Protein backbone atom coordinates (compact mmCIF):
# COMPACT_ATOMS: atom_id res chain seq x y z
CA UNK A 1 0.00 0.00 0.00
CA UNK A 2 1.26 3.50 -0.86
CA UNK A 3 1.87 5.85 2.04
CA UNK A 4 1.46 8.93 -0.19
CA UNK A 5 -1.69 9.32 -2.30
CA UNK A 6 0.05 11.06 -5.22
CA UNK A 7 3.51 10.79 -6.69
CA UNK A 8 5.10 14.20 -6.34
CA UNK A 9 7.89 15.58 -8.44
CA UNK A 10 9.54 18.96 -7.99
CA UNK A 11 7.91 21.42 -5.60
CA UNK A 12 7.12 24.54 -7.66
CA UNK A 13 5.18 26.91 -5.37
CA UNK A 14 4.59 27.41 -1.66
CA UNK A 15 2.10 29.50 0.32
CA UNK A 16 2.65 29.92 4.02
CA UNK A 17 0.10 31.55 6.29
CA UNK A 18 1.25 32.08 9.86
CA UNK A 19 -1.01 33.58 12.53
CA UNK A 20 -0.17 34.17 16.19
CA UNK A 21 -1.87 35.95 19.07
CA UNK A 22 -0.07 37.96 21.73
CA UNK A 23 -0.99 39.45 25.08
CA UNK A 24 -1.39 43.23 24.92
CA UNK A 25 -3.42 44.44 27.88
CA UNK A 26 -6.45 43.31 29.86
CA UNK A 27 -8.84 44.42 27.11
CA UNK A 28 -6.89 43.50 23.97
CA UNK A 29 -4.77 40.91 22.29
CA UNK A 30 -2.66 41.46 19.19
CA UNK A 31 -3.34 39.09 16.31
CA UNK A 32 -0.50 38.99 13.78
CA UNK A 33 -0.89 37.29 10.42
CA UNK A 34 1.56 36.81 7.58
CA UNK A 35 1.06 35.43 4.10
CA UNK A 36 4.02 34.53 1.91
CA UNK A 37 3.81 33.09 -1.61
CA UNK A 38 7.03 31.79 -3.14
CA UNK A 39 7.66 30.57 -6.66
CA UNK A 40 10.28 27.91 -6.17
CA UNK A 41 11.29 27.48 -9.82
CA UNK A 42 12.29 29.79 -12.65
CA UNK A 43 9.27 31.17 -14.57
CA UNK A 44 8.46 33.81 -17.19
CA UNK A 45 6.60 37.06 -16.71
CA UNK A 46 3.63 38.14 -18.84
CA UNK A 47 6.00 39.76 -21.36
CA UNK A 48 7.81 36.45 -21.78
CA UNK A 49 10.92 37.51 -19.87
CA UNK A 50 12.56 34.89 -17.67
CA UNK A 51 12.61 35.41 -13.93
CA UNK A 52 14.31 33.44 -11.16
CA UNK A 53 12.54 31.81 -8.22
CA UNK A 54 11.18 34.57 -6.02
CA UNK A 55 8.79 35.66 -3.30
CA UNK A 56 5.68 36.98 -5.05
CA UNK A 57 3.69 38.09 -1.99
CA UNK A 58 4.79 38.78 1.55
CA UNK A 59 2.15 40.59 3.61
CA UNK A 60 1.82 41.16 7.35
CA UNK A 61 -1.32 42.33 9.12
CA UNK A 62 -1.70 43.09 12.82
CA UNK A 63 -4.98 43.64 14.64
CA UNK A 64 -5.45 45.21 18.01
CA UNK A 65 -8.33 42.91 18.90
CA UNK A 66 -10.82 44.01 21.56
CA UNK A 67 -11.62 40.92 23.61
CA UNK A 68 -14.85 42.17 25.20
CA UNK A 69 -16.61 42.86 21.90
CA UNK A 70 -14.38 40.57 19.81
CA UNK A 71 -13.75 43.24 17.22
CA UNK A 72 -10.88 44.77 15.28
CA UNK A 73 -10.13 47.99 17.13
CA UNK A 74 -7.04 48.92 15.08
CA UNK A 75 -5.36 47.42 12.03
CA UNK A 76 -1.85 47.76 10.61
CA UNK A 77 -0.70 46.40 7.25
CA UNK A 78 2.76 45.94 5.76
CA UNK A 79 2.97 44.77 2.16
CA UNK A 80 6.65 43.81 2.19
CA UNK A 81 6.70 42.18 -1.25
CA UNK A 82 4.13 42.66 -4.02
CA UNK A 83 4.18 41.58 -7.66
CA UNK A 84 3.07 45.03 -8.92
CA UNK A 85 3.76 48.57 -7.70
CA UNK A 86 0.01 49.33 -7.68
CA UNK A 87 -0.71 46.55 -5.16
CA UNK A 88 0.38 48.79 -2.28
CA UNK A 89 -2.52 51.18 -2.97
CA UNK A 90 -5.08 48.78 -1.51
CA UNK A 91 -3.69 48.69 2.02
CA UNK A 92 -5.44 51.94 2.98
CA UNK A 93 -8.78 50.17 2.35
CA UNK A 94 -8.09 47.83 5.25
CA UNK A 95 -8.74 50.68 7.69
CA UNK A 96 -12.42 50.14 6.89
CA UNK A 97 -12.22 46.91 8.91
CA UNK A 98 -11.66 48.82 12.15
CA UNK A 99 -14.71 48.40 14.38
CA UNK A 100 -15.91 45.22 12.68
CA UNK A 101 -16.84 42.40 15.03
CA UNK A 102 -15.51 38.91 14.34
CA UNK A 103 -18.85 37.14 14.48
CA UNK A 104 -21.29 35.50 12.09
CA UNK A 105 -21.42 37.69 8.98
CA UNK A 106 -17.73 38.70 9.20
CA UNK A 107 -16.80 37.00 5.92
CA UNK A 108 -19.66 38.73 4.12
CA UNK A 109 -18.58 42.13 5.47
CA UNK A 110 -14.95 41.58 4.47
CA UNK A 111 -15.94 40.49 0.97
CA UNK A 112 -18.26 43.50 0.62
CA UNK A 113 -15.45 45.88 1.58
CA UNK A 114 -12.46 44.17 -0.03
CA UNK A 115 -13.77 41.65 -2.56
CA UNK A 116 -13.08 41.78 -6.27
CA UNK A 117 -11.56 44.99 -7.61
CA UNK A 118 -12.15 46.79 -4.28
CA UNK A 119 -9.28 44.97 -2.61
CA UNK A 120 -6.75 42.18 -2.94
CA UNK A 121 -7.55 38.47 -2.91
CA UNK A 122 -4.33 37.73 -1.04
CA UNK A 123 -4.99 40.23 1.76
CA UNK A 124 -8.61 39.06 1.93
CA UNK A 125 -7.43 35.45 2.23
CA UNK A 126 -5.16 36.39 5.12
CA UNK A 127 -7.86 38.43 6.89
CA UNK A 128 -10.38 35.60 6.61
CA UNK A 129 -7.81 33.15 8.00
CA UNK A 130 -7.07 35.53 10.87
CA UNK A 131 -10.68 35.68 12.09
CA UNK A 132 -10.92 32.15 13.55
CA UNK A 133 -7.34 32.45 14.81
CA UNK A 134 -8.32 35.68 16.61
CA UNK A 135 -11.11 33.79 18.33
CA UNK A 136 -8.65 31.06 19.36
CA UNK A 137 -6.42 33.80 20.77
CA UNK A 138 -9.44 35.25 22.57
CA UNK A 139 -10.31 31.89 24.14
CA UNK A 140 -6.70 31.38 25.22
CA UNK A 141 -6.58 34.88 26.70
CA UNK A 142 -9.88 34.27 28.53
CA UNK A 143 -8.96 30.78 29.73
CA UNK A 144 -5.79 31.84 31.50
CA UNK A 145 -7.62 33.00 34.62
CA UNK A 146 -9.86 30.24 35.95
CA UNK A 147 -11.50 32.50 38.55
CA UNK A 148 -12.87 34.92 35.96
CA UNK A 149 -13.49 32.47 33.12
CA UNK A 150 -17.09 32.31 32.01
CA UNK A 151 -18.98 31.34 28.89
CA UNK A 152 -21.84 33.63 28.00
CA UNK A 153 -24.99 32.68 26.16
CA UNK A 154 -23.82 34.93 23.29
CA UNK A 155 -20.54 33.02 23.03
CA UNK A 156 -22.39 29.73 23.00
CA UNK A 157 -24.93 30.87 20.41
CA UNK A 158 -22.69 32.83 18.03
CA UNK A 159 -19.32 31.11 18.33
CA UNK A 160 -19.69 27.52 19.52
CA UNK A 161 -23.04 25.87 18.80
CA UNK A 162 -23.02 24.18 15.39
CA UNK A 163 -19.51 25.46 14.61
CA UNK A 164 -18.49 21.83 13.99
CA UNK A 165 -19.80 18.32 14.61
CA UNK A 166 -18.40 18.23 18.16
CA UNK A 167 -20.35 21.39 19.02
CA UNK A 168 -23.64 20.30 17.45
CA UNK A 169 -26.63 21.86 19.16
CA UNK A 170 -27.94 18.73 20.88
CA UNK A 171 -24.57 17.05 21.31
CA UNK A 172 -22.98 15.94 24.58
CA UNK A 173 -20.39 18.74 24.67
CA UNK A 174 -22.98 21.51 24.33
CA UNK A 175 -25.07 19.90 27.07
CA UNK A 176 -22.02 19.65 29.33
CA UNK A 177 -20.89 23.24 28.75
CA UNK A 178 -24.44 24.64 28.91
CA UNK A 179 -24.36 24.03 32.67
CA UNK A 180 -21.65 26.70 32.95
CA UNK A 181 -23.23 29.33 30.69
CA UNK A 182 -23.71 32.73 32.24
CA UNK A 183 -26.89 34.51 31.17
CA UNK A 184 -26.27 38.12 30.19
Query: Which residues of the chain are modeled with pLDDT < 70?
Result: 1-2, 147-149, 156, 159, 162, 179-180, 182-184
Contact call for residues 38 and 53 (beta carbons, < 8 A): yes
Q: How far is CA 128 from CA 43, 115, 132, in A?
A: 29, 11, 8
Question: What is the structure's pLDDT at 156?
Answer: 67
pLDDT of residue 58: 98
Containing 73, the helix (H) or strand (E) segment is strand 71-81
Task: Please tell me the predicted confidence (pLDDT) of residue 184.
Answer: 61
Amino acid sequence: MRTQPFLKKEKIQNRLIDISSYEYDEDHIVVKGALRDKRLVATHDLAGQPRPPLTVHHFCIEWLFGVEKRRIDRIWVDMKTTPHDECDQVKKKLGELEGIKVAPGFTKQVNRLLGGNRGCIHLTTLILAMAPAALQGYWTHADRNLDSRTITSEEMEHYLINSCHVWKKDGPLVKKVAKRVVQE
